[in-house]
């Protein structure tokens, strides 16, 4: 998976970071900030693909960014630039209802992953070691069979 997506994420991170730099130089700080956030997310994806257990925090940074974006979307459409809170309508409209749906469906699991490292509240059961015990028993039985054959000879 790394060799398919890793170089692409790194290349996008470098290009978008350069775009962010040009936006900051020209005084467009909002566009530069958004571009820098996208570059940071792509770099975090690259690190998570490179070595997930070592860079465990990289996926959580991206998940926290997604939750923050949906929370901002809800606050923007509901409080900053108030729009009517109407259920229904087109999914492409920027409405508080669509923002709330996005926050619940996408943002909530991202928040869970940010703090818990999983997408659900339920704790997974501990790994079952019976498979490894079975393999050890099978190895022991093979040794016993070989010992029996050597005794019979």
Tell me the pLDDT of the chain (153 aa) as tens digits. Answer: 889 999 999 999 999 999 999 999 999 999 999 999 999 999 999 999 999 899 999 999 999 999 999 999 999 998 888 888 888 778 888 889 999 999 999 999 999 999 998 888 888 888 876 655 555 555 555 555 555 555 555
The DSSP symbol for 86 reads -
Q: Say if CB 78 and CB 104 are below 8 A apart.
A: no
The two three-digit tokens of residue 44, written as one number: 């975090």
User: Residue 142's pLDDT is what?
Assistant: 55
Alpha-helical (H) ranges within the chain are 2-25, 29-50, 56-75, 96-102, 108-116, 130-152
User: Residue 37's pLDDT is what?
Assistant: 94
User: Residue 139's pLDDT is what?
Assistant: 52
User: Residue 88's pLDDT is what?
Assistant: 79
The separation between the first and the last C-alpha atoms of the chain, rounded to the nearest angstrom, is: 52
User: Residue 59's pLDDT is what?
Assistant: 93
CA distances (Å), origin 124, targets 35, 110, 119, 141: 37, 18, 11, 33
User: Residue 5's pLDDT is what?
Assistant: 94
DSSP-assigned states of every residue in 29-56 = HHHHHHHHHHHHHHHHHHHHHH-TTTTH
In angstroms, the CA 82 to CA 79 distance is 5
Q: Say if CB 80 and CB 98 are below 8 A apart.
A: no
In angstroms, the CA 20 to CA 66 distance is 19
């Amino acid at each position: 998976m790394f060799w398919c997506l890793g170089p692409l994420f790194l290349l996008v991170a470098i290009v978008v970071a350069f775009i962010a730099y040009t936006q900051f130089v020209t005084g467009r700080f909002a566009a530069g900030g958004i571009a820098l956030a996208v570059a940071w997310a792509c770099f975090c994806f690259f690190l998570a693909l490179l070595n997930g257990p070592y860079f465990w925090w990289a996926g959580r940074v991206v998940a926290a960014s997604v939750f923050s974006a949906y929370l901002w979307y809800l606050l923007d459409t509901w409080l900053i630039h108030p729009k009517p809170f109407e259920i229904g309508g087109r999914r492409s409209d920027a409405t508080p209802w669509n923002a709330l749906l996005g926050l619940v469906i996408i943002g909530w699991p991202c928040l869970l992953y940010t703090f818990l490292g999983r997408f659900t509240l339920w704790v997974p059961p501990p790994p079952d070691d019976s498979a490894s015990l079975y393999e050890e028993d099978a190895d022991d039985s093979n040794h016993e069979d070989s010992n029996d054959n050597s005794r019979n000879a």
